[in-house]
């Protein structure tokens, strides 16, 4: 196990685990950013709307992988989801995440 794996966990293994359980990808960028390119099948819920959509997200009863442009907003979104009892992980930037899926 390398130092980065130790510090940050093995993201690829976690993504595979989430995918195997039917994870839903939430892209937290703005609609304009999302419309410019996104992971097929992902849902666009901008970061500022995550809290107001929490009841809908909980009804899905699936693990959530968040993504954005660089990973900053998706980290915030994953934190909000986790604090509300939703199993979530930060997938980072949408483009690099798309290569791992």
pLDDT per residue of the chain (101 residues) written in tens, 0 to 9 = 455 555 555 788 899 999 999 999 999 999 999 999 999 999 999 999 999 999 999 999 999 999 999 999 999 999 999 999 999 999 999 999 999 88
- Within-domain flag for 4: no
What is the rounded distance in angstroms from the CA atom of residue 52 to the CA atom of residue 70? 23
Question: How many domains does the chain fold into?
Answer: 1
Q: Identify which of 62, 60, 67, 63 has the alpha carbon closest to the alpha carbon of residue 27.
A: 67
- Within-domain flag for 1: no
The CATH number of the domain holding residue 20 is 3.40.250.10
């Amino acid at each position: 196990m390398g130092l980065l794996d130790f510090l940050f966990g093995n993201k690829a293994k976690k993504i595979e685990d989430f995918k195997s359980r039917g994870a839903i990808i939430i892209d937290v960028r703005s609609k304009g950013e999302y419309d410019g390119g996104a992971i097929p099948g992902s849902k666009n819920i901008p970061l500022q709307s995550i809290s107001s959509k929490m009841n809908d997200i909980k009804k899905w009863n699936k693990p959530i992988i968040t993504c954005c442009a660089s990973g900053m907003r998706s980290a915030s979104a994953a934190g909000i989801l986790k604090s509300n009892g939703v199993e979530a992980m930060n997938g980072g930037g949408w483009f690099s995440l798309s290569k791992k899926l």
